[in-house]
Structure 1
Amino acid sequence: MKKYHISRHHRFITVGLNYEKADAATRGLFALDDASTAVLLDRALEEGIDGLLVTSTCNRTELHGFAQAPQHLIRLLCDYSNGTEADFDRVGYVYQNQEAIGHLFRVGTGLDSQILGDFEIISQLKKSFKLSRKHGLANPFMERLVNAVIQASKRIKNETGISSGATSVAFASVQYLLARVPDIANKKILLFGTGKIGRNTCENLVKHTGHDQITLINRTQDRADALGRKFHVRVQPVEALREEIAASDVLIVATGATRPTVTAPMVPADKPRWILDLTIPFNVAREVGVKNGITLVDLDQLSRITDNTLQQRRSYIPQAESIIAEVHGEFNQWLESRRFAPVIRALKAKLKTMKEEELDNQARKIDGFDASQADVVTERIIQKITRHFANHLKDSDIDTDDSLELIQKVFQLEIPQR
């Protein structure tokens, strides 16, 4: 089997946890906000991490980077989140080298999403890479890998039906309400938070419930006003939050804060009320759910809502995996060529030195020697020789290590250490 080398000094490692083993509460412990991520990246750079990508979403938190051992990345994750190493040992996972690369491809293409075909993660990967570059942790390997994942994601989205149909957290929320809340068209709905999930939820509410008893509240008033105008729904200031919660039959929270924005004293137990918490970590205090008449639903419960759309999406998995294999293979070819490029450069330099020495020698021996013409011919010969060696090293049937060692030995090449 062809061996693909990642780094001479470190391994490419992924450490993380996701919805498969970690429930919403545990994922909340390991969630990283923008400020924590920035400090983590600075610390990683100080500690000699060579390239690091940090992703933290509702469904997962992962660190992808070069380190001598997984424990280094696990410690960084625990130091800058509320999770412990004992928690990580219980629910976390570690991938290294090619397994880590393959995992990132599956994550970025929606195959590893809690809702199959959800491509929201790709925008998070782009954002994460920009942050890594800003903090000096976006090496050429990371940049090439992220671009390859983006390429695979685009192809899968365009060439397969794996993202067809309306299936998302926002859609699942509305489906839940339609299926479980009696007379939903006449219920008062309050949406608190107008980030991306909040906006999508609002759009789905308007589209599928068909009534105008929807109220928006957001901590930034301008954003709520803009969304209210777009969907023709009522907007209230954040100061009216308690009053609006008391008046609501359904409360949807998508505030994206690091601690609960809705606490038990804010929610009266005076009538049946459904509360959907679409955030990680939880933005609705768990004590709210024990009150009489209150039904509190989190992301994990919503993700279990499946329909024919998801079943149909599964039929496209083999086609998506084939695209991933193709793009992953191209990335591996680049990775391998990057490893032998220093040898080819050293070989070309050695041949050029030999050429110059020989041309000088012939110019002294031969009267009227055409040095310029000889230079053109010999340069073309050097290009052909080095191309033949490069093609040989790309051949999957040869042992690249042995070939590189032989080339260096025969031509007595000195390879600069980087």
Structure 2
Amino acid sequence: MNQENIPSKFYNVGLSYKKADAKVRGAFSISKENQKLLLEDAKSKGIEGIFVLSTCNRTEITGFAKHPFELISLLVEYSNGSVEEFINVSNVYKNKDAVKHLFHIGTGLESQILGDYEIVGQLKEAFKLAKEVGTTNTYLERLMNLVLQASKDVKNHTKLSSGTTSVAYAAIQYLIENIEDYDHKKILIYGLGDIGKNTCKNVLQYTSNKMITLVNRTKKTALEFKNDHPDVEVVDYTELTSKIIAADILIVSTGASVPTVTKAHVAKNKKLLILDLSMPENVDTSVKELEGITLVNVDELSKITHKTLETRRSEIPEAEKIIKKYKEEFNDWISIRKFVPAVNALKESLQVIQHAEIDFQSKKIKNFNVEQAEVITSRLIQKITTQFVKHLKDEETAVDQSINVISKMFNIKEMSLNEND
């Protein structure tokens, strides 16, 4: 079969913490700049309906393609991963399974820390970028809308997100459980993205530590954060090394594609705990070779929230019920869209009859009210087409036969189902 004649299917291709460790996920991480380039490339290749999600726990492309390798090729091209590596750790979901997967992501069921809703904001940002580039379509718009509705419903009506647990919170739990006298340790937070800000807020909220220093490449961001959190100290990026040497605890949440902290930044023969919350990892793992250095990454932090997770796991069945409701709503919408070409063809045929009959009667009957006739007959057409849709939905096993009958009755040459509309 000619590749051009193969209809597009809905796919989700990617990898996550389930099969890929932090190092591999880091290799497949796609920067914001490359995400935009990827979408623009996909658009130029005629791929309609696609968005990219790249977080510390997963990198995925969701969209329409004739074959999943079209999307895999884009993922590999705009990351530092290879096809060989991808095959070993990948997930490929198609059509209904891809839809189900997206619902699970949006409701926190696929988060590394079950019920972590940070992914919702990341999903919104990913879709926002796709809209800006122009790679969304009606299908994706409707699906994302229902995923976000389901997410809100699960959060409000289950305990799936009960208790405070996230990577940013897990970092504080780690300090409390493993560091003696943590309230009096010098803490340096390097990087003020969402995770860095949340981590700093958690330190302030859950500890009494008043020795918190912030370093960010863009100092203005740190100073704006300080306006709402006056207890922290902000220093210039040029002081990074000296502040790392002076610190007892270093929390790194930068968004670089290469390590931002190396052996050159770290003092020798001095105890230092480093929590690397970045993805890809932004602390060179070789720092562990230095005596006194303890390096903890995202995967290790995610293991310390087991008590809270037990409560959350018991809520999964209730969350699945809510998801099922929204999936059924989406499937109903898809079913109706499948019938649109046939219904439109019937409606157009009835309108031709309507106009011809009104024209005939207006010439035959004196003072014939054309406007009133149009209103009445338009309502009749609407009722007929509505009944036709109901019939197609209720009698799905005989859809083709029903359409053939209507086509012959009204002499409609092109009346068909278009599942990819």
TM-score (norm 1): 0.93
Map of 1:223 onto structure 2: 221
Map of 2:236 onto structure 1: 237
Once structures 1 and 2 are overlaid, which stretch shifts more, 61-70 or 132-141? 132-141
Alignment of 1:25 onto 2:30: no
8 Å Cα contact 2:276/2:296 also seen in 1: yes
How far off is 1:48 after superposition?
1.3
Map of 1:324 onto structure 2: 323
Q: How does 1:201-280 map to 2 (within 5 A)?
A: 201-231=199-229, 232-280=231-279
Regions of 4+ moved over 6 Å: none
Deviations 1:58-81 (A, max 9, x none): 000000011000011000100110
Map of 2:348 onto structure 1: 349
Map of 2:96 onto structure 1: 98
Alignment of 1:358 onto 2:357: yes
Map of 1:3 onto structure 2: none
Map of 2:147 onto structure 1: 149
Deviations 1:294-330 (A, max 9, x none): 1111100101112432211222211111111111111
Tell me which amino acid in the other structure corresponds to 1:291: L
Give the whole-Å Cα distance in 2 for the aligned partners of 1:370 and 1:394.
Answer: 37
How far off is 1:230 after superposition?
2.8
Q: 2:74 aligns with which of 76, 80, 98?
A: 76
Instruction: Report SS of the residue matched to 2:304.
Output: coil
Instruction: Report SS of the residue matched to 1:161.
Output: coil
Instruction: Report SS of the residue matched to 1:323.
Output: helix
Tell me which amino acid in the other structure corresponds to 1:322: K
Give the whole-Å Cα distance in 2 for the aligned partners of 1:151 and 1:136.
Answer: 23
Map of 2:39 onto structure 1: 41
Give the whole-Å Cα distance in 2 for the aligned partners of 1:116 and 1:369.
Answer: 69
How far off is 1:179 after superposition?
1.3
Map of 2:179 onto structure 1: 181
RMSD: 2.1
Give the whole-Å Cα distance in 2 for the aligned partners of 1:372 and 1:225.
Answer: 67
8 Å Cα contact 2:403/2:415 also seen in 1: no
Map of 2:334 onto structure 1: 335
Deviations 1:184-219 (A, max 9, x none): 222211111111111111111122221212211111
How far off is 1:361 after superposition?
3.7
Instruction: Report SS of the residue matched to 1:244.
Output: helix
Structure 1 pair 121/362, CA: closer, same or farther in 2 (3 Å)? same
Give the whole-Å Cα distance in 1 for the aligned partners of 2:295 and 2:28.
Answer: 22
Give the whole-Å Cα distance in 2 for the aligned partners of 1:295 and 1:409.
Answer: 77
8 Å Cα contact 2:182/2:209 also seen in 1: no
Structure 2 alignment gaps of length 5 or more: none
Give the whole-Å Cα distance in 1 for the aligned partners of 2:165 and 2:401.
Answer: 51
Instruction: Report SS of the residue matched to 1:185.
Output: helix
Map of 1:303 onto structure 2: 302
Q: How many matched pairs?
A: 412
Once structures 1 and 2 are overlaid, which stretch shifts more, 125-134 or 307-316? 307-316
Once structures 1 and 2 are overlaid, which stretch shifts more, 233-242 or 69-78? 233-242
How far off is 1:8 after superposition?
8.6
Structure 1 alignment gaps of length 5 or more: 1-6
Map of 2:130 onto structure 1: 132
Give the whole-Å Cα distance in 1 for the aligned partners of 2:401 and 2:335.
Answer: 14
Give the whole-Å Cα distance in 2 for the aligned partners of 1:381 and 1:390.
Answer: 14
8 Å Cα contact 1:216/1:228 also seen in 2: no
Give the whole-Å Cα distance in 2 for the aligned partners of 1:243 and 1:368.
Answer: 95
Map of 1:379 onto structure 2: 378
Identity value in percent: 48
Give the whole-Å Cα distance in 2 for the aligned partners of 1:93 and 1:396.
Answer: 36
8 Å Cα contact 2:253/2:278 also seen in 1: yes
Give the whole-Å Cα distance in 1 for the aligned partners of 2:297 and 2:401.
Answer: 55
Give the whole-Å Cα distance in 1 for the aligned partners of 2:341 and 2:6.
Answer: 13
8 Å Cα contact 2:6/2:66 also seen in 1: no
Q: 1:109 aligns with which of 107, 110, 122?
A: 107
Structure 1 pair 236/137, CA: closer, same or farther in 2 (3 Å)? same
Give the whole-Å Cα distance in 1 for the aligned partners of 2:67 and 2:42.
Answer: 13
Give the whole-Å Cα distance in 1 for the aligned partners of 2:269 and 2:247.
Answer: 11
Give the whole-Å Cα distance in 1 for the aligned partners of 2:352 and 2:170.
Answer: 68
Give the whole-Å Cα distance in 2 for the aligned partners of 1:127 and 1:408.
Answer: 45
Structure 1 pair 135/226, CA: closer, same or farther in 2 (3 Å)? closer
Once structures 1 and 2 are overlaid, which stretch shifts more, 327-336 or 86-95? 327-336
Give the whole-Å Cα distance in 1 for the aligned partners of 2:34 and 2:349.
Answer: 49
Q: 1:120 aligns with which of 89, 109, 118?
A: 118
Once structures 1 and 2 are overlaid, which stretch shifts more, 201-210 or 75-84? 201-210
How far off is 1:133 after superposition?
1.5
Deviations 1:367-400 (A, max 9, x none): 6655555444433322221111011122275444
